[in-house]
């Protein structure tokens, strides 16, 4: 378990954010960690699940950062499904 | 003794060029300070300034201008004019004072370098006046806000800002160091005087002086007008330098210098002037939108002059620059407002119902791209959830312009690249091009996010970042209007 900095956007927001996650976090946790910096602050909240995109591909919600192939300071996008 | 007319002695007094015999040209004009671009010796002697001036005339004119602005300052000081200014306008001048006066001193270093290492005597003569101009601009623009310190401690940042690591200051300092503080004489003439001053600041200062008078800020208007008349003169060092480069087959080199610095200048201009014009200037005093100003003044007037000299528009004009006129400063504004404790002025949200109508009219689609985000912010303000209008992390900044990376549309990735094992982030193709066109100038510079990740900022929290930036509670930015822009529910500042 180690701190893992990422660049992240929540879809619809206007700026790229520095979001620290943990390499043991699942994509579902990563999505929540990104959302907490945008959803309800600038992006309207929706009653929908969220997914993580990396290099144009949607990542399964159960895999961890360490398993995903994401590198520190890679860019991910989180969006409502 | 009869006084000679200027035309009778001017050329004799200013044409002091001679061929060196005891020293080499490289010893007199070292490449790193002067840079020949392969154009040597007498090829530069035809450098001819369009605006002639003697030292006697200079001193006479400048003394008169200083008398004018300082007498206005002392008259205004006895009134309550400043107190009655709109809060958003106060923010605009605080942002200006933090970003500009000390860099005016920096510019005097660039001018002094041209006064010594410019490759023609006439040029060195004009640059000597430019050096004095920039000292004057630094002094006047620090003195005026100093006089307002008793009314508001944020004016302290007119002097303090450039000595800190505040994020906007890092962006400004990076640009100004590149353009003039750490540039060679020939590139400074092309990048500072031709590109930045002719293209941006000379025109901007005209617009700002006019806006100041519209809002009733006579003091600021007089100051800026007085400075603009100097800018109009010393900015003319660029054109003769450019002509010599073109006439000696160095058009491509000159074009690259312009393309690099036009872009870098644009980014900071959008940050400072873009948000001041479209959000901080009171709605009733806005004579044109920032986009209209850019189109009417920068694009048309500057580019006409540019093309007259046989240059091309920068390669990124259609694909990157013109599209950014529609969105980039709106994104910067939202960022500055949301991260408002990180700036030394109080950002004016500028999104009341009437202002939003104006924004949508001037920028069709604004509501859909930015208004929706302001809706969420406004709802949090209305329901008293002010904590949700503050950030809990840093934005990623561009390694070239050092401004947060924003996107015009959804799903647009930042440009990430690796240089000597270091990961770099760029906001756009042009910033990446500028950086990669001369990596030796930029590769050791760390962005504020690089510094955060490298452990330079302790504790590694937003509070630690504020401390690193030199922001103290008495100057940390807050909403300029006490959230009055949100219509029905005016909240007191928290």
Ramachandran sector of residue B421 (left: φ over 0; alpha: ψ -120 to 50; beta: rest): left
Q: Alpha-carbon distance B400 to B263, whole Å?
A: 10
Residues of A with CB under 8 A from a CB of B: 5, 7, 9, 11-20, 36-37, 40-44, 73-75, 77
To test the contact with chain A by mutation, choose from B372, B393, B406, B448 the residue with the greatest count of A C-beta atoms within 10 A, namely B393
Residue B4 lies in a domain: no
Please tell me the predicted confidence (pLDDT) of residue B412: 75
The values of phi and psi at residue B423, to 5°, are: -80, 130
Q: What is the mean pLDDT of residues B371-397?
A: 95
Nearest residue of B to residue A5 by CA position? Answer: B453
Q: What is the CATH number of the domain that holds A62?
A: 3.10.20.270
Contact B392 A43 (CB under 8 A): no
pLDDT, tens digit, 9 for 90 and up, residues B411-464: 678 899 999 999 999 999 999 999 999 999 999 999 999 999 999 999 998 889
pLDDT surpasses 80 at B75: yes
Q: Alpha-carbon distance B262 to B303, whole Å?
A: 11
Please tell me the predicted confidence (pLDDT) of residue B140: 94
Please tell me the predicted confidence (pLDDT) of residue B76: 83
Q: What is the mean pLDDT of residues B400-406?
A: 97
* Beta-strand relationship, A57-59 and A50-54: antiparallel
Q: What is the mean pLDDT of residues A26-38?
A: 98
- Please count the structural domains in chain B: 1
pLDDT surpasses 60 at B202: yes
Domain that holds residue B168: 48-399+461-486
B386 interfacial to chain A (CB closer than 8 Å)? no
ipTM (interface pTM):
0.97
pLDDT surpasses 70 at A28: yes
Residue B175 lies in a domain: yes
Q: What is the mean pLDDT of residues A57-77?
A: 97
B372 interfacial to chain A (CB closer than 8 Å)? yes
Q: What is the CATH number of the domain that holds B312?
A: 1.10.620.20
Q: Alpha-carbon distance B121 to B14, whole Å?
A: 6
Mean pLDDT across chain B? 92
To test the contact with chain B by mutation, choose from A12, A14, A46 the residue with the greatest count of B C-beta atoms within 10 A, namely A14
Q: Alpha-carbon distance B384 to B382, whole Å?
A: 6
Residue A47 tokens, joined: 């009653």
CA distance B70 to chain A (A): 43
Residue B193 lies in a domain: yes
Residue B456 lies in a domain: no
Residue B17 tokens, joined: 């060029």
Residue B88 lies in a domain: yes
Question: Predicted confidence band at B492 (pLDDT cuts at 50, 70, 90)?
Answer: very low
Task: Kindly give, in sequence order, each residue whose CB lies less than 8 Å from that of residue A49, ignoring residues fewer than 6 positions away.
Answer: A61, A80, A81
Across A32-46, B36-50, B74-88, B151-165, least confident range: B74-88
- Asked if residue B289 lies in contact with residue B363, where contact means CB atoms within 8 angstroms, the answer is yes
CA distance A62 to chain B (A): 23
Contact B396 A18 (CB under 8 A): yes
B419 interfacial to chain A (CB closer than 8 Å)? no
Please tell me the predicted confidence (pLDDT) of residue B488: 43
Q: What is the mean pLDDT of residues B144-159?
A: 95
pLDDT surpasses 50 at B493: no
Nearest residue of A to residue B393 by CA position? Answer: A18
pLDDT surpasses 60 at B1: no
Residue B406 lies in a domain: no
Task: Kindly give, in sequence order, each residue whose CB lies less than 8 Å from that of residue B436, ignoring residues fewer than 6 positions away.
Answer: B419
Contact B334 A42 (CB under 8 A): yes
Q: What is the mean pLDDT of residues B194-215?
A: 86
Residue B356 lies in a domain: yes
CA distance A9 to chain B (A): 8
Residue B293 lies in a domain: yes
Three-state secondary structure call for residue B207: helix
Task: Give percent above pLDDT 90 in chain B.
Answer: 76
Question: Predicted confidence band at B16 (pLDDT cuts at 50, 70, 90)?
Answer: confident
Please tell me the predicted confidence (pLDDT) of residue B491: 43
Contact A18 B338 (CB under 8 A): no
Across A62-71, B210-219, B298-307, least confident range: B298-307
B452 interfacial to chain A (CB closer than 8 Å)? yes
């Amino acid at each position: 378990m180690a701190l893992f900095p990422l660049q992240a956007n929540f879809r619809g927001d206007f700026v790229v954010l520095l979001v620290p996650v943990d390499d043991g976090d699942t994509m579902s946790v990563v999505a929540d960690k990104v959302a907490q910096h945008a959803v309800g602050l600038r992006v309207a909240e929706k009653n929908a699940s969220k997914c993580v995109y990396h290099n144009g591909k949607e990542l399964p919600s159960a895999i961890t950062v360490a398993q995903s192939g994401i590198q520190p300071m890679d860019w991910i996008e989180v969006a409502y499904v | 003794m009869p006084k000679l007319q200027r035309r009778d002695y001017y050329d004799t007094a200013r044409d002091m060029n001679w061929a060196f015999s005891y020293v080499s040209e490289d010893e007199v004009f070292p490449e790193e300070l002067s840079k020949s671009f392969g154009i040597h010796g007498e090829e530069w002697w035809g450098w001819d300034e369009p605006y002639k001036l003697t030292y006697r005339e200079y001193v006479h004119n400048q003394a008169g201008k200083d008398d004018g602005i300082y007498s206005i300052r002392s008259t205004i000081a006895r009134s309550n004019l400043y107190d009655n200014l709109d809060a958003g306008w106060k923010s605009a001048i605080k942002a200006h004072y933090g970003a500009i006066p000390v860099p005016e001193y920096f510019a005097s270093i660039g001018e002094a370098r041209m006064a010594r290492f410019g490759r023609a005597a006439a040029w060195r003569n004009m640059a000597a006046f430019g050096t004095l101009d920039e000292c004057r601009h630094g002094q006047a623009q620090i003195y005026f806000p100093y006089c307002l310190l008793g009314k508001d401690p944020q004016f302290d940042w007119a002097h303090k800002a450039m000595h800190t690591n505040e994020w906007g200051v890092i962006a400004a300092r990076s640009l100004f160091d590149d353009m003039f503080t750490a540039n060679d004489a020939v590139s400074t003439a092309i990048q500072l005087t031709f590109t930045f001053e002719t293209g941006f600041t000379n025109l901007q200062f005209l617009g700002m002086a006019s806006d100041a008078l519209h809002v009733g800020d006579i003091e600021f208007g007089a100051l800026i007008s007085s400075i603009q008349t100097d800018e109009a003169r010393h900015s003319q060092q660029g054109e003769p330098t450019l002509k010599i480069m073109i006439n000696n087959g160095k058009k491509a080199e000159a074009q690259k210098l312009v393309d690099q610095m036009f872009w870098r200048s644009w980014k900071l201009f959008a940050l400072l002037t873009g948000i001041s014009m479209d959000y901080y200037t009171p709605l009733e005093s806005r004579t044109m939108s920032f986009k209209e100003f850019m189109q009417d003044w920068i694009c048309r007037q500057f580019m006409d002059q540019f093309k007259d000299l046989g240059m091309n528009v920068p390669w990124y004009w259609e694909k990157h620059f013109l599209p950014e006129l529609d969105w980039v400063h709106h994104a910067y504004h939202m960022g500055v407002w949301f991260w408002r404790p990180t700036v030394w002025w109080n950002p004016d949200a500028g999104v009341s119902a009437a202002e939003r109508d104006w924004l949508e009219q001037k920028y069709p689609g604004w509501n859909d791209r930015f208004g929706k985000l302001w809706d969420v912010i406004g709802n949090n303000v209305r329901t008293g959830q002010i904590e949700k209008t503050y950030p809990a992390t840093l934005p990623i900044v561009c390694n070239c312009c050092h401004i947060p990376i924003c996107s015009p549309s959804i799903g647009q990735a930042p440009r990430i690249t690796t240089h000597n094992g270091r990961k770099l982030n760029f906001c756009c193709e042009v910033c990446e091009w500028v950086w990669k066109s001369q990596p030796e100038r930029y590769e050791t510079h760390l962005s504020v996010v690089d510094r955060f990740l490298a452990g330079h900022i302790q504790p590694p929290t937003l509070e630690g970042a504020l401390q690193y930036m030199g922001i103290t509670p008495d100057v940390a930015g807050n909403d300029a209007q006490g959230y009055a822009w949100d219509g029905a529910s005016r909240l007191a500042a928290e």
